[in-house]
Structure 1
Amino acid sequence: MNALPDRRLNAYRADLAEEALRGAVDAVRYTAGTPARINAPVIGLRPRPDLTAGIDTELLYGETVRVLDRADGWAWVKADFDGYVGYLPEAALLGADKVATHVITVPRTFAYTGADLRTPAAFSLSLGSRISVIGESETRGTRYLTLESGQSVVANHCVPVGQLIADDYVSVALRFLETPYLWGGRSGFGIDCSGLVQLSMMMTGRVVQRDSDMQASGLGTPIDRSDLRRGDLVFWKGHVAIMEDPETIVHANGHTMSVAREGLQAAIERIGWLYEQPNGYRRP
């Protein structure tokens, strides 16, 4: 019997499946879905339409999805960026009629109700969020960009879509130091180990898969521990860390419950009781 496709990356149920799976899985009907974008600062993507279910990953403000189904206040979606499939509250979606013009480049920032830092903050935005800018202004020497929704963001907290913020993704990852650890997290408000890898690489123009097992099998090429250098990855079963230099890692971890630096050898000794020894080293 052929194994069913990975449900994290393939949308299928008995009653409905994505059109790309026609002929590969059985379903009552198939759909190409409809485009939408995220209208929440960050929203959890869950394996089932239930707020008590733990999140698998998160989507950021302005990211786009294909909506496969809507029912009982929930939407079943597939993320355009990495193909992740799951459920989120339907209220977190807007139509896809607006195209993002800019990307947030700082770990966290605010959308203000006016073009002035003294006005109330309407909502927060994470690094990687995508916004649609319709104008700009200056108040007391600070430039602001006006969003389609009427709020304003500080101009130097973002760059135009397509402009990379760094060549070295490790420097992006280091911006997250002391960010709280969050299982399934993928934002400046809370992040997990593979989310740190994915989001940091995204800001340097790379598209990588979401979970550590996906990254361990498909990202870059295997190397030996003796060859480790800045930017390489160390994998344990269920965990990944980024090499800051040949002896130091940076990773989102449940020990400090944050993104932190740690000596590689010390981490191997500490983590061993839970995740055993590293099962791979890769150069992305």
Structure 2
Amino acid sequence: MTAHDARLHAFRTDLADIRLKGEVAADRFVSGRPARIATSVVDLRRTPRPDSGIDTQFLSGDDVLVFDEADGWAWVQGERDGYVGYVLVEELKPREAVATHIVSAPRTFVYPGPDLRFPRSGHLSMGSTVAVAGTAETSGTHYAVLPSGETIIAGHLRPIGEHATDFVSIAETFLGTPYLWGGASGFGIDCSGLVQLSMRMAGRDVLRDTDMQVASLGELLNIDADYSGLRRGDLVFWKGHVAIMTDSEMMIHANGHTMTVALEGLKDAVARIGYLYGGPTAFRRP
């Protein structure tokens, strides 16, 4: 048997993903049942309890595999980043219409029809995917029409496969967004969630947590004591934290100090963070 990270591999002593047969010990192996996230933002929990910690979040339209259901909870694995955990069964739906567009604004509203004066019927984060069935225009405002008849502002969507050219520019659109431990959406986000979502919108799916990102993203940089040589898009890692350089001196990060996504000078952050957590552990160029 080989070691597997339980965050990225679905296995318990009683049940495991059939793809892990021969690699992990379990009483029973099953194939995951395809499903899709049905609500705006879904918390993925470590255990099937409402007071369990949030490890990450799935967004509306994300595809998952369901390995088990019990007491209203589903044990699932996200197909985009492989993260494993528990969601409420009611937050899932069958996979039906193929997604055609992705939300490209940090946040957007869903309306019951093509009129921005209608009371909103929902809200979606950047990274959510939808199937667009048609278009409509009311008083010069263009709407994408969903199969349900609901609408989204057309300018807040982009076709699947159309990517931003600069993931840092995406991260900058989240300035002021509240910090949320485990958050991965435009309604609340943490440091590695900001990296993951920003890079996804630029066409690159990456792993979720800081330890995964520091082990897998790009090339390791040899940076000297005055931090020269860094450029826009480089990642700075501390133990349990990551920031994105916006230029050679400034960085953007979701952080517990301001409890927002904020800009901060790298040297200022090093001095502030070092008091409690030590200095940077790695610099990487994705």
Deviations 1:105-143 (A, max 9, x none): 000110001110011101110000001111111000011
Deviations 1:192-224 (A, max 9, x none): 000000000000100110000100111111002
Aligned to 1:214: 212
User: Size of the alignment, in residue pairs?
Assistant: 282
Q: Secondary structure at the match of 2:117?
A: coil
Residues of 2 paired with 1:205 and 1:83: CA distance?
17
Which portions of structure 1, spanning 4 or more consecutive aligned residues, are displaced by more than 4 angstroms?
Answer: none
Q: How far is 1:178 from its partner?
A: 0.3
Equivalence map 1:84-163=2 (5 Å): 84-163=83-162
Partner residue of 1:239 out of 238, 241, 247: 241
Q: Does 1:178 align with 2:180?
A: no
Residues of 2 paired with 1:97 and 1:103: CA distance?
16
Q: Secondary structure at the match of 1:44?
A: strand
Residues of 1 paired with 2:278 and 2:180: CA distance?
22
Q: 2:182, 2:189 within 8 Å by CA — same for their partners in 1?
A: yes
TM-score using structure 1 length:
0.98
Identity of paired residues, percent? 56
- Which letter maps to 1:241? A
Q: Does 1:275 align with 2:273?
A: no
Deviations 1:10-47 (A, max 9, x none): 11011110112100111121122111111111000011
Aligned to 1:251: 253
Q: Secondary structure at the match of 1:268?
A: helix
Residues of 2 paired with 1:3 and 1:212: CA distance?
23
Aligned to 1:45: 44
Q: 1:238, 1:275 within 8 Å by CA — same for their partners in 2?
A: no
Aligned to 1:58: 57
Q: How far is 1:3 from its partner?
A: 6.1
Residues of 1 paired with 2:275 and 2:32: CA distance?
44
- Which letter maps to 1:175? T
- Which letter maps to 2:261? V
Residues of 2 paired with 1:264 and 1:248: CA distance?
5
- Which letter maps to 2:187? F
Unaligned 5+ segments in structure 2 are none
Unaligned 5+ segments in structure 1 are none
Q: Over aligned residues, Cα RMSD in angstroms?
A: 0.9
Q: Secondary structure at the match of 2:198?
A: helix
- Which letter maps to 1:274? L
Residues of 1 paired with 2:96 and 2:52: CA distance?
31
Q: 2:2, 2:23 within 8 Å by CA — same for their partners in 1?
A: no
Residues of 2 paired with 1:233 and 1:280: CA distance?
8
Deviations 1:228-262 (A, max 9, x none): 10000000000000000010000000000000000
- Which letter maps to 2:221? I
Residues of 1 paired with 2:31 and 2:166: CA distance?
36
Q: Secondary structure at the match of 1:176?
A: coil
Q: How far is 1:4 from its partner?
A: 3.2
Residues of 1 paired with 2:277 and 2:18: CA distance?
38
Residues of 1 paired with 2:14 and 2:171: CA distance?
41
Aligned to 1:27: 26
Q: Secondary structure at the match of 2:115?
A: coil
Q: Which moved more, 1:11-20 or 1:81-90?
A: 11-20
